[in-house]
Amino acid sequence: MRRIMFFPLVCTAMLAVWGCRQEVTSDAERTEIVSDSSSRAHDAEQGGMYRDLQMGYRKSDSAPRMGSARILEQIRKHRAFDGAPPWIPHAVSPENERTGTRNCLNCHRDGGWVEKWQRYAPPTPHPEWTSCRQCHVPGDGGDAFRPSGWKTPAYPALNDRSQPAGPPAIPHSLQYRGNCLACHAGPSAPVEIRTTHPGRTNCRQCHVPANSDGTFPESKL
Interface contacts to other proteins, rule CB under 8 A: 2-7, 9, 11-12, 80-85, 87, 94, 97-102, 126, 128-131, 133-142, 144-150, 153, 156, 160, 173-176, 178-179, 204, 208-221
Q: Which is nearer to other proteins, 116 or 146 (CB)?
A: 146
Q: Which is nearer to other proteins, 3 or 116 (CB)?
A: 3
- 86: nearest Cα among 131, 123, 139, 28: 139
- Residue 11 phi/psi, 5-degree rounding, is -55, 145
Report, in Å, the least distance between residue 189 CB and other proteins. Answer: 19
CA dihedral 88, 92, 96, 101 (to 10 degrees): -20
What is the Cα–Cα distance from 149 to 145, expressed in whole angstroms? Answer: 12
Rounded (5°) CA angle 88-173-7? 115
Q: Which is nearer to other proteins, 35 or 91 (CB)?
A: 91
Q: Which is nearer to other proteins, 17 or 129 (CB)?
A: 129
Report, in Å, the least distance between residue 70 CB and other proteins. Answer: 20
